[in-house]
Chain A
């Protein structure tokens, strides 16, 4: 049930520095989060959960799902492929499934995604991935 981030090895030294200086990490996260998140909101209707799965799901933000299922789709998809809760919206999982085929991360789409860590909501997902995330008490 642990979250595993896929971070390029070359970023590991930066992560080490950030973990050694949690205060800097926190400040940096606060500074970067608005930029990262507003860009993702504009491009992918991001919901700022702080533990991004965009790259695994064909750049579709699954947190738009009214049930916020991270391992969907649920059984409530209508015949026309729309959401049972919001009939005007296409099921985000249908979209993600379709789009994930076009990206190399398809195998990641098929894995079981860990549940949300609510403490990370609103923070910078990229920095969280590189540094582990501030305040989780594990580093």
Chain B
């Protein structure tokens, strides 16, 4: 039933491998040139297991991530499609989930979505028919029951791998781990967190998550991002709700000065230090790099932080290469266990 496509399910296989997984985000283009997506993908593909494409981040319109993800599939990369409830009601979401499955996209990051008030068209009508937790339930319903929410049959059902985001840096801090648990109960199969700058707060959060046993149920990927300039750092600290940038980091970026080479090197150095700190926190299954339109930094970060994709690089995977040689004449069997087996347990 599963098409013989080595890209398909690569992310899930990576998560099951037990090795730390690396994912990264590329910006969706502001232009009608598919080569733009390919160019961005080329910059990161060798360093990650899967690539995220965000859905109109910050309420600013970009090309549909569904299209960008379809191009990534053509390029042999397993994409993670962000799907937000901001612009679509439950009908459109179900039809997009199935549409994604048709295009060979199965990893769906279910989000409520940034409000358009911070975007360039704040006068837009917000939809928010359902929220991220219900979207997870819907994606699971389509996959496991083989039915729409209405009960109508889907034949064959899509093979979706829904995941969710986690936000440790916004109040109410005590309740956040419980909400993550709710998302896992709703059917999240992987978790990608907000960008970690305040490692102490994150360690505290992960402690609570560990106490709840959530890190045993699903793999949690810690979000990391390089800071490009002091302007970017202050913007993230002051203007982006839910992001916590300690003043010490802003000061370090200010000290690095205005010289592009110097400040970028400092930003990457900070990022690498955060990786070091994160590795000491138990319960993390990997990392999610969010370079925010700075895709070329991923290679450098990956080298300096000694990151390695769990299944080797996307293009020339040593593991898969070995496995593929004897299997060549047969249609490739899906190596992932059945979808109902819980991860890491």
Q: Which residues of A contact B (CB under 8 A)?
A: 1, 66-79, 81, 84-85, 91, 93-94, 97-98, 110, 112, 114-116, 118
Contacts and interface: CB of A to CB of B under 8 A. Distances in A.
B118 interface: yes
Nearest to A65: B128
Given A67-B131, A79-B244, A91 B182 contact: no
Interface stretch (B62-70, B165-173, B334-342): B165-173
Contacts of A76: 114-115, 170, 241-242
Given A1-B141, A69-B128, A77-B242, A115 B172 contact: no
6 contacts: A1-B141, A71-B182, A73-B172, A112-B182, A112-B186, A116-B129
A112 B132 CA distance: 11
A47 to B, nearest CB: 13
Contacts of A68: 128, 131
B171 A75 contact: no
B90 interface: yes
Q: When A and B form their complex, which 8 residue pairs have the shortest distance between CB atoms, in order from nearest?
A: A75-B167, A71-B133, A84-B241, A77-B170, A69-B131, A75-B242, A115-B130, A76-B241
Contacts of A114: 134
Nearest to B165: A75
Interface string B130-168: 111110011001000000010000000000000001010
A112 B180 CA distance: 12
Contacts of A78: 170, 241
Interface string B108-134: 000011110110000000101111111
B134 A71 contact: yes
A112 B117 contact: no
Contacts of A98: 172
A75 B131 contact: no
Interface of B: 86, 90, 112-115, 117-118, 126, 128-134, 137-138, 141, 149, 165, 167, 170-172, 175, 178-179, 182, 185-186, 194, 241-242, 244
Nearest to A94: B172
B170 A70 contact: no
A115 B134 contact: yes
Main secondary structure of the interface of B (DSSP, over half): loop
A76 B126 CA distance: 15
A1 B134 contact: yes
Contacts of A77: 170-172, 241-242
A71 B132 contact: yes
Contacts of A66: 115, 117, 126
A73 B170 contact: yes
B129 A115 contact: yes
Nearest to B130: A115
A58 B200 CA distance: 31
B118 to A, nearest CB: 7
A69 B2 CA distance: 35
B115 A84 contact: yes
Nearest to B86: A67
Nearest to B244: A79
Contacts of A70: 131, 134
B252 to A, nearest CB: 20
Contacts of B149: 1
B242 A84 contact: yes
A30 B189 CA distance: 44
A74 B117 contact: no
Contact of A75 (B128, B170, B186): B170
Q: Which of A72, A74, A84, A116 is most buried by chain B, counting CB atoms within 10 A of its CB? A: A74
Given A75-B165, A77-B170, A84-B117, A97 B175 contact: yes
B134 A91 contact: no
Given A1-B137, A67-B131, A75-B165, 13 more contacts: A66-B115, A67-B86, A68-B128, A70-B134, A71-B134, A74-B131, A74-B132, A75-B242, A76-B242, A78-B170, A79-B244, A81-B171, A112-B137
